[in-house]
Chain A
């Protein structure tokens, strides 16, 4: 075993532990902000695993898309929510958590068995690629063209849906009377607290 193999093995172990620990933290952490930050750590360690598989472009894309965009937007969403509501303890919390744990472990056992019993077609040896970018591009524009395009249509649909949901239409005319409506373009304000201090 030479030096680079030792380095690879150690980094694989560290990255796997980091990813599993962070992923468990995402699910188990009671604070939603911690969950969101730990999700970023999970994504980053996954990028590290890609790097160990010589998929440098995929690793960088993972960082860019998942950590830089998805995770930042999740954090953004978490921090912009302004819901003034006290947290109310749910009844039967222990039972619910127990049930969730049972379902999750069942699913894990099922998936684990499937992974173990499936006869995987493993590639013989390692294929040498000079540049993973070029290899990826060739696949994306030949045998994976249809899934690639379908994914882009899906993203477009999601985007249009988000715009439709977020958009507020202001009517310039009242639909019943036909008279020009009073346009109140100011943003609605949160009502002030009527009781100041106690």
Chain B
């Protein structure tokens, strides 16, 4: 495994050679990947919104957005600008403080979770030892924000939506964490970079998907429920609750919810790609191709190509999963709240536990295949 490109190291080296002390150079470096990730997450949302509009149109035999930009690609930008220029309204009987903090509390943890997403061996913000555990911990904060906005809106539909959101995310966090735990047990590490590293070397055959098919399904279902996507969008079920906890929101505050839900969807898709689909690995191992062509893996131009291919692979895998989620949303009916909780507690939780125990047994029996 080649170390790949170390952008941080080269950047700091460049600044220190210009006469900056190394510590200051690091301070200059820190905001750059954060900013890049923030921008790419926001641009990713624009793409998903466009995809959602186009796929829903295709599912309902319509054309969808067409006039704003080529194929309607500028439509999400127009949507965003419209929300940005809307009047800022706080309902008369609402609690102004909680009403304003709620949306922020939903969005911030989602963006923070991008800390652990790697796009290559060194293409990440930081390689935290905590890794996926940080994501699980941060995603458990969002229900507080949902309850806050549901309560402060002073509207029965909002309150019901907030309560449903909290119940749903608590129920589905446990199977989600158990599915991740099985992966962590196989990789002997919580770090996302190590998890991908453990899947590398054998191309598509080495991906965790083949070793954890049940875990993959549990994770995907639970992640959809955490994102409150149809078939699990009960917190905002529009036929029952108007718009759930978002009912009283408009303008920029509503835009935060909207942004947060789509960023969360991309984040879940990225994590599925990293945990189960080999992250930045190509279906055919790069090391194998380079050795076949007789190339030195430390050649600079080769490293640039591999790194770009890695980023493309991660994004491609993630967007395939997003496409699947969008397609599911427009073809599957919504479940009832009791069905949702039954599925979480009585089906996914036992299956996830059995999956975890089975993984432990297989790891002891076949340490070569299940990460000894």
Give A residues with C-beta under 8 Å from B: 2-4, 33, 37, 40, 56-57, 60-61, 63-64, 67-69, 71-73, 75-76, 79-80, 131-133
CB of B23 within 8 A of CB of A2, answer yes
Could you list some 10 contacts between A and B, CB below 8 A?
A2-B23, A57-B130, A61-B137, A63-B141, A64-B133, A69-B140, A72-B143, A76-B166, A79-B147, A80-B163
Give B residues with C-beta under 8 Å from A: 23-24, 27, 98, 128-130, 133-134, 136-138, 140-141, 143-144, 147-148, 150-151, 159, 162-163, 166-167, 170, 173, 190
Once A56-B128, A68-B173, A133-B129 are accepted as A-B contacts, the answer to whether A63 and B137 lie under 8 Å apart by CB is yes
B-side contacts of A80, CB under 8 Å: 163
A-side contacts of B140, CB under 8 Å: 63-64, 67-69, 72
Q: Measured between C-beta atoms, what is the minimum distance from B249 to chain A in Å? A: 18
A-side contacts of B150, CB under 8 Å: 79
Q: Measured between C-beta atoms, what is the minimum distance from B183 to chain A in Å? A: 15
Shortest Cβ distance from A134 into B: residue: B129
Q: Give the docked Cα–Cα distance between A56 and B134 (Å).
A: 9
Q: Measured between C-beta atoms, what is the minimum distance from B371 to chain A in Å? A: 16
A-side contacts of B151, CB under 8 Å: 33, 79
Shortest Cβ distance from B188 into A: residue: A134
Once A37-B98, A72-B166 are accepted as A-B contacts, the answer to whether A60 and B144 lie under 8 Å apart by CB is no
CB of B144 within 8 A of CB of A76, answer no
Q: Give the docked Cα–Cα distance between A2 and B137 (Å).
A: 31
Once A64-B136, A133-B190 are accepted as A-B contacts, the answer to whether A3 and B144 lie under 8 Å apart by CB is no
Q: Measured between C-beta atoms, what is the minimum distance from A133 to chain B in Å? A: 7
Q: Measured between C-beta atoms, what is the minimum distance from A90 to chain B in Å? A: 25
The one of B23, B24, B136, B147 in contact with A72, judged by C-beta atoms closer than 8 angstroms, is B147
A-side contacts of B27, CB under 8 Å: 3
Q: Give the docked Cα–Cα distance between A71 and B170 (Å).
A: 12
Shortest Cβ distance from B173 into A: residue: A68
Shortest Cβ distance from A60 into B: residue: B137
B-side contacts of A61, CB under 8 Å: 137
Once A2-B23, A69-B170 are accepted as A-B contacts, the answer to whether A75 and B137 lie under 8 Å apart by CB is no
Query: Besides A60-B130, A76-B166, 16 other CB < 8 A contacts?
Result: A2-B23, A4-B23, A33-B151, A37-B148, A64-B133, A64-B137, A68-B141, A68-B144, A68-B173, A71-B144, A72-B143, A72-B170, A75-B166, A79-B150, A133-B129, A133-B130
The one of A3, A37, A63, A68 in contact with B143, judged by C-beta atoms closer than 8 angstroms, is A68
Q: Give the docked Cα–Cα distance between A71 and B23 (Å).
A: 39
